[in-house]
Structure 1
Protein backbone atom coordinates (compact mmCIF):
# COMPACT_ATOMS: atom_id res chain seq x y z
CA UNK A 1 0.00 0.00 0.00
CA UNK A 2 1.36 3.40 -0.99
CA UNK A 3 1.75 5.92 1.81
CA UNK A 4 1.20 9.67 1.46
CA UNK A 5 2.44 12.21 3.99
CA UNK A 6 1.02 15.68 4.49
CA UNK A 7 3.77 17.65 6.24
CA UNK A 8 2.61 21.13 7.19
CA UNK A 9 4.23 23.30 9.84
CA UNK A 10 1.21 25.51 9.27
CA UNK A 11 -1.61 22.99 8.77
CA UNK A 12 -4.28 22.96 6.11
CA UNK A 13 -7.81 23.78 7.23
CA UNK A 14 -9.80 20.79 8.51
CA UNK A 15 -11.97 20.85 5.40
CA UNK A 16 -8.86 20.51 3.24
CA UNK A 17 -7.41 17.68 5.36
CA UNK A 18 -10.70 15.81 5.26
CA UNK A 19 -10.82 16.19 1.49
CA UNK A 20 -7.21 15.07 1.08
CA UNK A 21 -7.90 12.01 3.23
CA UNK A 22 -10.93 11.11 1.15
CA UNK A 23 -8.98 11.33 -2.12
CA UNK A 24 -5.96 9.42 -0.82
CA UNK A 25 -7.89 6.65 0.91
CA UNK A 26 -10.28 6.25 -2.03
CA UNK A 27 -7.20 5.39 -4.09
CA UNK A 28 -6.33 2.64 -1.61
CA UNK A 29 -3.42 4.58 -0.08
CA UNK A 30 -2.54 5.33 3.53
CA UNK A 31 -2.50 8.94 4.71
CA UNK A 32 -0.14 10.22 7.40
CA UNK A 33 -0.20 13.71 8.91
CA UNK A 34 2.67 15.74 10.37
CA UNK A 35 1.22 19.05 11.50
CA UNK A 36 2.67 21.93 13.52
CA UNK A 37 6.02 20.18 13.79
CA UNK A 38 8.78 22.16 15.48
CA UNK A 39 11.82 20.07 14.61
CA UNK A 40 13.25 19.17 11.23
CA UNK A 41 14.15 15.80 12.75
CA UNK A 42 10.42 15.07 13.01
CA UNK A 43 10.10 15.80 9.30
CA UNK A 44 13.04 13.56 8.43
CA UNK A 45 11.58 10.66 10.41
CA UNK A 46 8.12 11.10 8.93
CA UNK A 47 9.28 10.97 5.29
CA UNK A 48 11.38 7.83 5.71
CA UNK A 49 8.80 5.40 4.33
CA UNK A 50 6.41 7.52 2.24
CA UNK A 51 5.71 7.29 -1.48
CA UNK A 52 4.07 10.71 -1.82
CA UNK A 53 4.57 14.00 0.00
CA UNK A 54 2.37 17.10 0.17
CA UNK A 55 3.71 20.34 1.66
CA UNK A 56 2.80 24.01 1.80
CA UNK A 57 5.73 26.35 2.45
CA UNK A 58 7.69 23.62 4.20
CA UNK A 59 11.25 23.26 2.90
CA UNK A 60 11.93 20.01 1.08
CA UNK A 61 15.71 20.19 1.25
CA UNK A 62 18.33 17.76 -0.01
CA UNK A 63 18.42 16.32 3.51
CA UNK A 64 14.70 15.61 3.38
CA UNK A 65 14.99 14.07 -0.09
CA UNK A 66 17.85 11.83 1.07
CA UNK A 67 15.79 10.68 4.06
CA UNK A 68 12.76 9.79 1.90
CA UNK A 69 13.95 6.44 0.58
CA UNK A 70 10.67 5.51 -1.16
CA UNK A 71 9.54 8.94 -2.30
CA UNK A 72 8.19 9.13 -5.84
CA UNK A 73 6.41 12.49 -5.88
CA UNK A 74 6.33 15.71 -3.85
CA UNK A 75 3.68 18.35 -4.44
CA UNK A 76 3.88 21.90 -3.19
CA UNK A 77 0.28 23.00 -2.60
CA UNK A 78 0.58 26.40 -4.21
CA UNK A 79 2.02 28.10 -7.27
CA UNK A 80 5.56 28.90 -6.14
CA UNK A 81 7.94 26.02 -5.55
CA UNK A 82 11.22 27.59 -4.48
CA UNK A 83 10.92 25.67 -1.20
CA UNK A 84 11.59 22.43 -3.11
CA UNK A 85 15.17 21.38 -3.90
CA UNK A 86 14.50 20.50 -7.52
CA UNK A 87 18.04 19.34 -8.23
CA UNK A 88 17.95 16.88 -5.36
CA UNK A 89 14.54 15.60 -6.47
CA UNK A 90 15.75 15.11 -10.03
CA UNK A 91 18.86 13.23 -8.92
CA UNK A 92 16.68 10.84 -6.92
CA UNK A 93 14.13 10.40 -9.70
CA UNK A 94 11.43 12.14 -7.67
CA UNK A 95 8.77 14.09 -9.54
CA UNK A 96 8.27 17.57 -8.07
CA UNK A 97 5.01 19.42 -8.76
CA UNK A 98 3.12 22.55 -7.84
CA UNK A 99 -0.63 23.25 -8.06
CA UNK A 100 -0.89 26.19 -10.47
CA UNK A 101 -4.11 28.14 -10.56
CA UNK A 102 -5.54 27.01 -7.24
CA UNK A 103 -4.53 30.17 -5.37
CA UNK A 104 -4.81 32.55 -8.29
CA UNK A 105 -8.05 34.31 -7.46
CA UNK A 106 -7.01 34.80 -3.84
CA UNK A 107 -3.74 36.45 -4.91
CA UNK A 108 -5.50 38.63 -7.49
CA UNK A 109 -8.09 39.84 -4.99
CA UNK A 110 -5.34 40.77 -2.53
CA UNK A 111 -3.57 42.75 -5.26
CA UNK A 112 -6.70 44.84 -5.70
CA UNK A 113 -7.18 45.21 -1.97
CA UNK A 114 -3.71 46.76 -1.77
CA UNK A 115 -4.35 48.92 -4.84
CA UNK A 116 -7.50 50.35 -3.29
CA UNK A 117 -5.72 50.90 0.01
CA UNK A 118 -2.87 52.88 -1.53
CA UNK A 119 -5.16 54.75 -3.95
CA UNK A 120 -7.34 55.95 -1.06
CA UNK A 121 -4.54 57.31 1.14
CA UNK A 122 -4.28 54.21 3.31
CA UNK A 123 -7.93 54.88 4.24
CA UNK A 124 -6.92 58.11 5.97
CA UNK A 125 -8.68 61.46 5.44
CA UNK A 126 -7.77 63.24 2.23
CA UNK A 127 -8.45 63.13 -1.47
CA UNK A 128 -7.59 59.82 -3.07
CA UNK A 129 -7.95 58.42 -6.57
CA UNK A 130 -10.13 55.91 -8.37
CA UNK A 131 -9.03 52.84 -10.28
CA UNK A 132 -11.61 53.34 -13.01
CA UNK A 133 -10.03 54.57 -16.23
CA UNK A 134 -6.48 53.85 -15.08
CA UNK A 135 -4.12 51.65 -17.07
CA UNK A 136 -2.97 48.47 -15.37
CA UNK A 137 -0.05 46.45 -16.66
CA UNK A 138 0.20 42.76 -15.92
CA UNK A 139 3.81 41.60 -15.84
CA UNK A 140 3.47 37.86 -16.60
CA UNK A 141 0.10 36.72 -17.88
CA UNK A 142 -0.25 33.38 -16.14
CA UNK A 143 -3.05 32.11 -13.91
CA UNK A 144 -2.85 35.01 -11.46
CA UNK A 145 -2.38 37.53 -14.25
CA UNK A 146 -5.56 36.35 -15.92
CA UNK A 147 -7.51 36.74 -12.69
CA UNK A 148 -6.09 40.25 -12.25
CA UNK A 149 -7.19 41.10 -15.79
CA UNK A 150 -10.73 39.88 -15.11
CA UNK A 151 -11.07 41.93 -11.92
CA UNK A 152 -9.48 44.99 -13.53
CA UNK A 153 -12.07 44.97 -16.29
CA UNK A 154 -14.76 45.03 -13.61
CA UNK A 155 -13.18 48.17 -12.19
CA UNK A 156 -13.24 49.77 -15.62
CA UNK A 157 -9.46 49.77 -16.01
CA UNK A 158 -7.56 49.51 -19.30
CA UNK A 159 -5.66 46.21 -19.19
CA UNK A 160 -2.20 45.74 -20.70
CA UNK A 161 0.10 42.73 -20.41
CA UNK A 162 3.59 41.56 -21.22
CA UNK A 163 4.54 37.89 -21.24
CA UNK A 164 7.02 36.43 -23.75
CA UNK A 165 5.69 32.94 -23.01
CA UNK A 166 2.07 33.68 -23.92
CA UNK A 167 1.09 34.44 -27.49
CA UNK A 168 -0.15 37.91 -28.35
CA UNK A 169 -3.19 36.29 -29.96
CA UNK A 170 -4.15 34.54 -26.73
CA UNK A 171 -3.90 37.73 -24.69
CA UNK A 172 -5.71 39.84 -27.27
CA UNK A 173 -8.51 37.26 -27.43
CA UNK A 174 -9.16 37.96 -23.75
CA UNK A 175 -9.45 41.69 -24.29
CA UNK A 176 -5.93 42.55 -23.16
CA UNK A 177 -3.74 45.08 -24.93
CA UNK A 178 -0.39 43.46 -25.64
CA UNK A 179 2.94 45.18 -24.98
CA UNK A 180 5.83 43.95 -27.07
CA UNK A 181 8.47 44.78 -24.45
CA UNK A 182 8.57 44.99 -20.68
CA UNK A 183 9.76 48.59 -21.00
CA UNK A 184 6.63 49.46 -22.98
CA UNK A 185 4.46 47.94 -20.24
CA UNK A 186 6.00 50.04 -17.49
CA UNK A 187 6.07 53.23 -19.57
CA UNK A 188 2.38 52.85 -20.40
CA UNK A 189 0.71 51.86 -17.15
CA UNK A 190 -0.33 53.69 -13.99
CA UNK A 191 -0.31 50.42 -12.07
CA UNK A 192 1.90 47.40 -12.72
CA UNK A 193 0.93 44.09 -11.11
CA UNK A 194 3.94 41.83 -10.83
CA UNK A 195 3.63 38.04 -11.25
CA UNK A 196 7.02 36.81 -12.42
CA UNK A 197 8.81 33.92 -10.66
CA UNK A 198 12.15 34.32 -8.88
CA UNK A 199 14.90 32.73 -10.94
CA UNK A 200 18.36 33.57 -12.24
CA UNK A 201 16.91 35.76 -14.99
CA UNK A 202 14.36 37.65 -12.92
CA UNK A 203 16.11 38.28 -9.60
CA UNK A 204 16.78 42.02 -9.17
CA UNK A 205 15.26 42.62 -12.61
CA UNK A 206 12.74 45.18 -11.34
CA UNK A 207 15.25 47.99 -11.14
CA UNK A 208 15.43 51.78 -11.29
CA UNK A 209 15.77 51.91 -15.07
CA UNK A 210 12.53 49.99 -15.48
CA UNK A 211 10.54 51.62 -12.67
CA UNK A 212 11.55 55.14 -13.66
CA UNK A 213 9.69 54.68 -16.95
CA UNK A 214 6.33 54.59 -15.12
CA UNK A 215 4.04 57.62 -15.50
CA UNK A 216 3.63 60.16 -12.71
CA UNK A 217 1.72 58.61 -9.81
CA UNK A 218 2.80 55.10 -10.78
CA UNK A 219 2.21 52.20 -8.39
CA UNK A 220 4.02 48.87 -8.35
CA UNK A 221 2.04 45.96 -6.89
CA UNK A 222 4.13 42.92 -5.95
CA UNK A 223 2.42 39.64 -5.10
CA UNK A 224 5.23 37.64 -6.69
CA UNK A 225 8.58 37.29 -4.90
CA UNK A 226 10.72 39.84 -3.03
CA UNK A 227 13.88 38.61 -4.78
CA UNK A 228 12.79 40.10 -8.11
CA UNK A 229 13.01 43.63 -6.68
CA UNK A 230 16.36 45.41 -6.78
CA UNK A 231 16.09 46.83 -3.27
CA UNK A 232 18.71 49.58 -3.56
CA UNK A 233 17.08 50.73 -6.77
CA UNK A 234 13.69 50.73 -5.06
CA UNK A 235 15.03 53.13 -2.42
CA UNK A 236 16.46 55.29 -5.20
CA UNK A 237 13.16 55.25 -7.08
CA UNK A 238 11.14 56.20 -4.00
CA UNK A 239 13.62 58.98 -3.22
CA UNK A 240 13.82 60.52 -6.68
CA UNK A 241 10.14 60.03 -7.56
CA UNK A 242 8.01 61.34 -4.66
CA UNK A 243 4.93 60.49 -6.73
CA UNK A 244 5.76 56.75 -6.86
CA UNK A 245 4.21 54.16 -4.55
CA UNK A 246 4.98 50.51 -3.79
CA UNK A 247 2.72 47.87 -2.24
CA UNK A 248 3.58 44.25 -1.64
CA UNK A 249 2.47 41.16 0.24
CA UNK A 250 6.14 40.22 0.70
CA UNK A 251 7.83 42.38 3.32
CA UNK A 252 11.35 43.14 2.03
CA UNK A 253 14.52 43.31 4.12
CA UNK A 254 14.40 47.10 3.72
CA UNK A 255 10.76 47.39 4.85
CA UNK A 256 11.56 49.38 7.98
CA UNK A 257 13.73 51.81 6.01
CA UNK A 258 11.05 52.30 3.36
CA UNK A 259 8.31 52.85 5.93
CA UNK A 260 10.39 55.34 7.90
CA UNK A 261 11.42 57.34 4.84
CA UNK A 262 8.28 57.18 2.72
CA UNK A 263 5.36 56.65 5.10
CA UNK A 264 2.06 55.81 3.45
CA UNK A 265 3.64 55.68 -0.01
CA UNK A 266 4.49 52.06 0.83
CA UNK A 267 2.50 49.19 2.27
CA UNK A 268 3.55 45.64 3.15
CA UNK A 269 1.55 42.81 4.66
CA UNK A 270 3.33 41.35 7.70
CA UNK A 271 3.95 38.09 5.82
CA UNK A 272 3.22 36.63 2.41
CA UNK A 273 -0.52 36.15 2.44
CA UNK A 274 -1.71 36.14 -1.17
CA UNK A 275 -2.98 32.58 -0.90
CA UNK A 276 -4.28 32.94 2.66
CA UNK A 277 -7.97 32.33 2.07
CA UNK A 278 -10.09 29.39 3.15
CA UNK A 279 -11.01 28.69 -0.45
CA UNK A 280 -7.43 28.69 -1.73
CA UNK A 281 -6.34 26.51 1.17
CA UNK A 282 -8.87 23.85 0.26
CA UNK A 283 -8.38 24.13 -3.50
CA UNK A 284 -4.60 23.72 -3.31
CA UNK A 285 -4.76 20.83 -0.84
CA UNK A 286 -7.24 18.84 -2.89
CA UNK A 287 -5.35 19.49 -6.11
CA UNK A 288 -2.13 18.28 -4.47
CA UNK A 289 -3.82 15.08 -3.33
CA UNK A 290 -5.20 14.37 -6.81
CA UNK A 291 -1.77 14.95 -8.34
CA UNK A 292 -0.03 12.60 -5.90
CA UNK A 293 -2.59 9.88 -6.61
CA UNK A 294 -2.40 10.51 -10.35
CA UNK A 295 1.37 10.15 -10.42
CA UNK A 296 1.55 7.02 -8.27
CA UNK A 297 -1.37 5.23 -9.94
CA UNK A 298 -1.14 6.44 -13.52
CA UNK A 299 2.24 8.11 -13.95
CA UNK A 300 0.56 11.46 -14.60
CA UNK A 301 3.27 14.16 -14.59
CA UNK A 302 1.16 17.03 -15.88
CA UNK A 303 2.34 19.60 -13.36
CA UNK A 304 5.94 18.46 -13.02
CA UNK A 305 8.35 21.36 -12.44
CA UNK A 306 11.69 19.51 -12.45
CA UNK A 307 11.61 18.27 -16.05
Structure 2
Protein backbone atom coordinates (compact mmCIF):
# COMPACT_ATOMS: atom_id res chain seq x y z
CA UNK A 1 0.00 0.00 0.00
CA UNK A 2 1.19 3.52 -0.78
CA UNK A 3 1.07 5.98 2.14
CA UNK A 4 1.38 9.69 1.36
CA UNK A 5 2.59 12.10 4.03
CA UNK A 6 1.33 15.47 2.76
CA UNK A 7 2.52 18.31 4.98
CA UNK A 8 2.65 21.93 3.89
CA UNK A 9 4.22 22.48 7.33
CA UNK A 10 6.53 19.44 7.60
CA UNK A 11 7.04 17.10 10.51
CA UNK A 12 10.39 17.29 12.27
CA UNK A 13 13.02 15.10 10.63
CA UNK A 14 13.05 12.68 13.58
CA UNK A 15 9.25 12.32 13.28
CA UNK A 16 9.54 11.55 9.57
CA UNK A 17 12.11 8.86 10.39
CA UNK A 18 9.73 7.35 12.93
CA UNK A 19 6.83 7.40 10.45
CA UNK A 20 9.02 5.82 7.77
CA UNK A 21 10.14 3.08 10.14
CA UNK A 22 6.53 2.23 11.04
CA UNK A 23 5.14 2.32 7.49
CA UNK A 24 7.99 0.51 5.74
CA UNK A 25 8.37 -1.92 8.64
CA UNK A 26 4.82 -3.07 7.91
CA UNK A 27 5.68 -3.62 4.24
CA UNK A 28 4.05 -0.44 2.93
CA UNK A 29 5.52 2.30 0.72
CA UNK A 30 6.02 5.84 2.07
CA UNK A 31 5.88 8.93 -0.15
CA UNK A 32 6.65 12.43 1.14
CA UNK A 33 5.16 15.70 -0.09
CA UNK A 34 6.61 18.41 2.13
CA UNK A 35 6.40 22.22 1.91
CA UNK A 36 4.13 22.12 -1.13
CA UNK A 37 3.08 25.57 -2.33
CA UNK A 38 0.21 24.77 -4.68
CA UNK A 39 -2.81 22.51 -4.22
CA UNK A 40 -2.06 21.09 -7.69
CA UNK A 41 0.99 19.40 -6.19
CA UNK A 42 -1.21 17.72 -3.59
CA UNK A 43 -3.78 16.67 -6.19
CA UNK A 44 -1.03 15.03 -8.23
CA UNK A 45 0.64 13.31 -5.27
CA UNK A 46 -2.56 11.83 -3.86
CA UNK A 47 -3.91 10.32 -7.08
CA UNK A 48 -2.44 6.85 -6.45
CA UNK A 49 -2.20 6.92 -2.62
CA UNK A 50 -4.00 4.30 -0.56
CA UNK A 51 -3.59 6.27 2.67
CA UNK A 52 -2.63 9.78 3.68
CA UNK A 53 -1.21 11.45 6.78
CA UNK A 54 -1.75 15.21 7.12
CA UNK A 55 -1.25 17.88 9.73
CA UNK A 56 -3.31 21.07 9.27
CA UNK A 57 -3.52 20.48 5.53
CA UNK A 58 -6.91 20.91 3.88
CA UNK A 59 -8.45 17.73 2.56
CA UNK A 60 -11.21 19.12 0.34
CA UNK A 61 -13.65 17.42 -2.04
CA UNK A 62 -11.20 18.20 -4.85
CA UNK A 63 -8.45 16.31 -3.02
CA UNK A 64 -10.76 13.39 -2.28
CA UNK A 65 -11.94 13.25 -5.89
CA UNK A 66 -8.34 13.15 -7.10
CA UNK A 67 -7.48 10.31 -4.72
CA UNK A 68 -8.99 7.38 -6.60
CA UNK A 69 -7.39 4.70 -4.40
CA UNK A 70 -7.66 6.48 -1.06
CA UNK A 71 -9.05 4.41 1.80
CA UNK A 72 -7.98 6.30 4.94
CA UNK A 73 -6.78 9.77 5.97
CA UNK A 74 -5.25 10.33 9.39
CA UNK A 75 -4.90 13.80 10.81
CA UNK A 76 -1.79 13.87 13.03
CA UNK A 77 -3.43 15.83 15.82
CA UNK A 78 -6.79 16.18 17.51
CA UNK A 79 -8.69 18.77 15.45
CA UNK A 80 -9.92 17.61 12.05
CA UNK A 81 -12.04 20.52 10.77
CA UNK A 82 -9.54 20.94 7.91
CA UNK A 83 -10.88 17.67 6.45
CA UNK A 84 -14.26 17.41 4.72
CA UNK A 85 -15.33 14.41 6.77
CA UNK A 86 -18.85 14.21 5.34
CA UNK A 87 -17.62 14.08 1.74
CA UNK A 88 -14.96 11.57 2.73
CA UNK A 89 -17.71 9.35 4.15
CA UNK A 90 -19.62 9.65 0.86
CA UNK A 91 -16.49 8.53 -0.95
CA UNK A 92 -15.99 5.63 1.45
CA UNK A 93 -12.82 7.15 2.91
CA UNK A 94 -12.19 6.70 6.64
CA UNK A 95 -11.00 9.78 8.52
CA UNK A 96 -9.15 9.42 11.80
CA UNK A 97 -7.38 11.75 14.22
CA UNK A 98 -4.74 11.02 16.88
CA UNK A 99 -6.35 12.23 20.10
CA UNK A 100 -4.15 12.88 23.11
CA UNK A 101 -0.81 13.04 21.33
CA UNK A 102 -0.59 16.85 21.48
CA UNK A 103 -2.43 17.30 24.77
CA UNK A 104 0.48 18.01 27.10
CA UNK A 105 2.07 20.39 24.59
CA UNK A 106 -1.14 22.43 24.35
CA UNK A 107 -1.61 22.42 28.14
CA UNK A 108 1.90 23.71 28.74
CA UNK A 109 1.34 26.45 26.16
CA UNK A 110 -1.84 27.51 27.98
CA UNK A 111 0.19 28.21 31.10
CA UNK A 112 2.98 29.90 29.17
CA UNK A 113 0.39 32.28 27.76
CA UNK A 114 -1.33 32.75 31.12
CA UNK A 115 1.85 33.58 33.03
CA UNK A 116 2.95 35.94 30.25
CA UNK A 117 -0.40 37.75 30.46
CA UNK A 118 -0.73 38.07 34.24
CA UNK A 119 2.85 39.38 34.42
CA UNK A 120 1.94 42.18 32.01
CA UNK A 121 3.87 40.62 29.11
CA UNK A 122 7.08 41.02 31.12
CA UNK A 123 7.09 44.80 30.74
CA UNK A 124 8.80 45.34 34.09
CA UNK A 125 5.65 46.38 35.97
CA UNK A 126 4.10 44.39 38.81
CA UNK A 127 1.60 41.78 37.75
CA UNK A 128 -0.44 39.14 39.55
CA UNK A 129 -0.08 35.44 40.36
CA UNK A 130 -2.12 32.46 39.24
CA UNK A 131 -2.09 30.78 42.65
CA UNK A 132 -5.51 30.99 44.28
CA UNK A 133 -7.24 32.16 41.09
CA UNK A 134 -10.24 30.32 39.68
CA UNK A 135 -9.57 28.61 36.35
CA UNK A 136 -12.47 27.51 34.18
CA UNK A 137 -11.87 24.80 31.60
CA UNK A 138 -14.43 24.72 28.78
CA UNK A 139 -14.47 21.09 27.52
CA UNK A 140 -12.83 18.35 29.54
CA UNK A 141 -11.19 16.21 26.88
CA UNK A 142 -7.54 15.19 26.66
CA UNK A 143 -6.25 18.77 26.64
CA UNK A 144 -8.66 19.96 29.31
CA UNK A 145 -7.56 17.16 31.64
CA UNK A 146 -3.91 18.09 31.17
CA UNK A 147 -4.68 21.75 31.79
CA UNK A 148 -6.39 20.75 35.05
CA UNK A 149 -3.36 18.68 36.06
CA UNK A 150 -0.95 21.57 35.51
CA UNK A 151 -3.31 24.07 37.15
CA UNK A 152 -3.23 22.12 40.39
CA UNK A 153 0.54 22.51 40.45
CA UNK A 154 0.06 26.27 40.21
CA UNK A 155 -2.33 26.14 43.16
CA UNK A 156 -5.34 27.25 41.12
CA UNK A 157 -8.96 26.50 41.98
CA UNK A 158 -10.10 24.45 38.98
CA UNK A 159 -13.61 24.29 37.47
CA UNK A 160 -14.82 22.66 34.26
CA UNK A 161 -17.86 22.36 32.03
CA UNK A 162 -18.33 19.83 29.26
CA UNK A 163 -21.72 19.14 27.72
CA UNK A 164 -20.64 15.60 26.80
CA UNK A 165 -18.62 14.59 29.86
CA UNK A 166 -20.50 13.39 32.98
CA UNK A 167 -20.04 15.56 36.05
CA UNK A 168 -18.87 12.52 38.04
CA UNK A 169 -15.95 12.03 35.63
CA UNK A 170 -14.89 15.66 36.06
CA UNK A 171 -15.20 15.44 39.84
CA UNK A 172 -13.18 12.20 39.91
CA UNK A 173 -10.29 14.17 38.40
CA UNK A 174 -10.38 16.53 41.37
CA UNK A 175 -12.06 19.32 39.40
CA UNK A 176 -15.29 21.14 40.31
CA UNK A 177 -17.97 20.47 37.68
CA UNK A 178 -20.42 23.28 36.89
CA UNK A 179 -23.79 23.03 35.16
CA UNK A 180 -23.29 25.41 32.24
CA UNK A 181 -20.72 27.46 30.38
CA UNK A 182 -22.47 30.56 31.70
CA UNK A 183 -21.76 29.44 35.25
CA UNK A 184 -18.14 28.80 34.28
CA UNK A 185 -17.66 32.35 32.96
CA UNK A 186 -19.47 33.92 35.93
CA UNK A 187 -17.33 32.12 38.52
CA UNK A 188 -13.84 32.10 37.05
CA UNK A 189 -10.98 34.58 36.77
CA UNK A 190 -9.58 32.80 33.72
CA UNK A 191 -11.42 30.64 31.19
CA UNK A 192 -9.38 28.34 28.93
CA UNK A 193 -11.16 27.19 25.76
CA UNK A 194 -10.82 23.61 24.51
CA UNK A 195 -13.96 23.20 22.42
CA UNK A 196 -13.93 22.05 18.78
CA UNK A 197 -15.29 24.23 15.98
CA UNK A 198 -18.74 22.74 15.33
CA UNK A 199 -22.03 24.33 14.19
CA UNK A 200 -22.99 24.56 17.87
CA UNK A 201 -19.76 26.16 19.08
CA UNK A 202 -18.80 28.50 16.24
CA UNK A 203 -18.95 32.14 17.45
CA UNK A 204 -20.39 30.91 20.75
CA UNK A 205 -17.81 32.85 22.79
CA UNK A 206 -19.64 36.12 22.42
CA UNK A 207 -20.38 39.46 24.07
CA UNK A 208 -22.98 38.20 26.54
CA UNK A 209 -21.00 35.18 27.66
CA UNK A 210 -17.63 36.89 28.20
CA UNK A 211 -19.33 39.89 29.81
CA UNK A 212 -20.33 37.56 32.66
CA UNK A 213 -16.70 37.41 33.78
CA UNK A 214 -15.66 39.23 36.92
CA UNK A 215 -13.38 42.27 36.78
CA UNK A 216 -9.93 41.43 35.42
CA UNK A 217 -11.19 38.34 33.60
CA UNK A 218 -9.10 36.62 30.94
CA UNK A 219 -10.02 34.28 28.08
CA UNK A 220 -7.31 31.96 26.75
CA UNK A 221 -8.03 30.35 23.39
CA UNK A 222 -5.85 27.49 22.16
CA UNK A 223 -8.82 25.76 20.49
CA UNK A 224 -10.08 27.26 17.21
CA UNK A 225 -10.50 30.89 16.15
CA UNK A 226 -13.95 30.11 14.75
CA UNK A 227 -15.40 29.66 18.26
CA UNK A 228 -14.83 33.37 18.96
CA UNK A 229 -17.36 35.97 17.86
CA UNK A 230 -14.63 38.49 17.03
CA UNK A 231 -16.77 41.62 16.42
CA UNK A 232 -18.64 41.09 19.70
CA UNK A 233 -15.47 40.42 21.70
CA UNK A 234 -13.85 43.56 20.26
CA UNK A 235 -16.95 45.59 21.22
CA UNK A 236 -16.83 44.17 24.75
CA UNK A 237 -13.11 44.86 25.19
CA UNK A 238 -13.72 48.45 24.08
CA UNK A 239 -16.33 48.79 26.82
CA UNK A 240 -14.52 46.82 29.50
CA UNK A 241 -10.89 47.83 29.80
CA UNK A 242 -10.25 45.16 32.44
CA UNK A 243 -10.58 42.13 30.14
CA UNK A 244 -7.75 40.22 28.44
CA UNK A 245 -7.83 37.94 25.40
CA UNK A 246 -4.83 35.64 24.84
CA UNK A 247 -4.57 33.15 21.98
CA UNK A 248 -2.25 31.08 19.81
CA UNK A 249 -4.56 31.53 16.81
CA UNK A 250 -4.23 34.88 15.07
CA UNK A 251 -7.76 36.32 14.75
CA UNK A 252 -9.13 37.53 11.43
CA UNK A 253 -9.46 40.94 13.14
CA UNK A 254 -5.90 40.87 14.52
CA UNK A 255 -5.29 44.56 13.74
CA UNK A 256 -8.40 45.58 15.66
CA UNK A 257 -7.48 43.43 18.65
CA UNK A 258 -3.94 44.85 18.57
CA UNK A 259 -5.26 48.22 19.73
CA UNK A 260 -5.89 46.67 23.16
CA UNK A 261 -2.27 47.05 24.18
CA UNK A 262 -1.46 45.16 27.36
CA UNK A 263 -4.72 43.18 27.12
CA UNK A 264 -4.32 41.16 23.94
CA UNK A 265 -1.70 38.76 22.65
CA UNK A 266 -1.57 36.33 19.75
CA UNK A 267 1.28 34.14 18.60
CA UNK A 268 2.18 34.60 14.90
CA UNK A 269 1.13 31.02 14.10
CA UNK A 270 -0.78 28.28 15.94
CA UNK A 271 1.65 26.95 18.52
CA UNK A 272 -0.28 24.37 20.55
CA UNK A 273 1.32 21.27 19.05
CA UNK A 274 4.63 22.88 18.16
CA UNK A 275 6.94 20.81 20.31
CA UNK A 276 9.35 18.11 19.19
CA UNK A 277 7.62 15.59 21.43
CA UNK A 278 4.08 16.31 20.14
CA UNK A 279 5.33 16.33 16.56
CA UNK A 280 6.89 12.91 16.95
CA UNK A 281 4.05 11.41 19.00
CA UNK A 282 1.29 12.47 16.59
CA UNK A 283 3.16 11.44 13.45
CA UNK A 284 4.08 7.99 14.71
CA UNK A 285 0.57 7.45 16.11
CA UNK A 286 -0.86 8.26 12.66
CA UNK A 287 1.48 5.75 11.03
CA UNK A 288 0.54 3.05 13.53
CA UNK A 289 -3.17 3.67 12.97
CA UNK A 290 -2.77 3.30 9.21
CA UNK A 291 -0.85 0.05 9.68
CA UNK A 292 -3.54 -1.23 12.06
CA UNK A 293 -6.22 -0.42 9.49
CA UNK A 294 -4.44 -2.24 6.67
CA UNK A 295 -3.60 -5.22 8.87
CA UNK A 296 -6.79 -5.75 10.89
CA UNK A 297 -9.34 -3.22 9.59
CA UNK A 298 -9.04 -1.33 12.91
CA UNK A 299 -10.95 1.99 12.86
CA UNK A 300 -10.80 2.81 16.57
CA UNK A 301 -10.13 6.51 15.97
CA UNK A 302 -12.51 7.07 13.07
CA UNK A 303 -14.30 10.44 13.26
CA UNK A 304 -16.66 10.14 10.27
CA UNK A 305 -18.69 7.05 11.14
CA distance in 1, matches of 2:19, 2:179: 42
Q: Secondary structure at the match of 1:263?
A: coil
Q: Is the 8 A contact 1:3 1:52 kept in 2?
A: yes
TM-aligned CA deviation for residue 251 of structure 1: 0.9
Relative to the length of structure 1, the TM-score reads 0.98
State yes or no: 1:199 paired with 2:198.
Answer: yes
CA distance in 2, matches of 1:93, 1:281: 28
CA distance in 2, matches of 1:137, 1:197: 16
Q: Is the 8 A contact 1:72 1:296 kept in 2?
A: no
Count of equivalent residues: 305
Relative to the length of structure 2, the TM-score reads 0.98
Structure 1 partner of 2:265: 267
Q: Secondary structure at the match of 2:262?
A: helix
CA distance in 1, matches of 2:66, 2:120: 51
Structure 2 partner of 1:286: 284
Describe how 1:37-186 pairs up with structure 2 within 5 A. Answer: 37-186=36-185
Q: Secondary structure at the match of 2:95?
A: strand
Structure 2 partner of 1:305: 303
Q: Secondary structure at the match of 2:14?
A: helix
CA distance in 1, matches of 2:179, 2:85: 32
TM-aligned CA deviation for residue 86 of structure 1: 0.9
Q: Secondary structure at the match of 1:118?
A: helix
TM-aligned CA deviation for residue 46 of structure 1: 1.1
Q: Which runs of 5+ in 2 are unaligned?
A: none
CA distance in 2, matches of 1:67, 1:297: 25
Q: Secondary structure at the match of 2:79?
A: coil
Q: Which runs of 5+ in 1 are unaligned?
A: none
Spell out, residue by residue over 1:134-159, the C-alpha distance to the aligned partner (whole angstroms, 9 max, x if none).
00000000000001000000000000
Structure 1 partner of 2:6: 7
CA distance in 2, matches of 1:37, 1:255: 26
Runs of 4+ in 1 over 3 A off after TM superposition: none
State yes or no: 1:210 paired with 2:199.
Answer: no
Describe how 1:212-251 pairs up with structure 2 within 5 A. Answer: 212-251=211-250
Q: Secondary structure at the match of 1:193?
A: strand
Spell out, residue by residue over 1:2-36, the C-alpha distance to the aligned partner (whole angstroms, 9 max, x if none).
11111111111111111111111111111111111
CA distance in 2, matches of 1:209, 1:58: 34
Structure 1 partner of 2:28: 29
Spell out, residue by residue over 1:82-132, the C-alpha distance to the aligned partner (whole angstroms, 9 max, x if none).
111112211110000111111111111111111001100110121100000
CA distance in 2, matches of 1:148, 1:11: 27
CA distance in 2, matches of 1:244, 1:38: 39
TM-aligned CA deviation for residue 39 of structure 1: 2.1
TM-aligned CA deviation for residue 48 of structure 1: 1.2
CA distance in 2, matches of 1:179, 1:48: 49
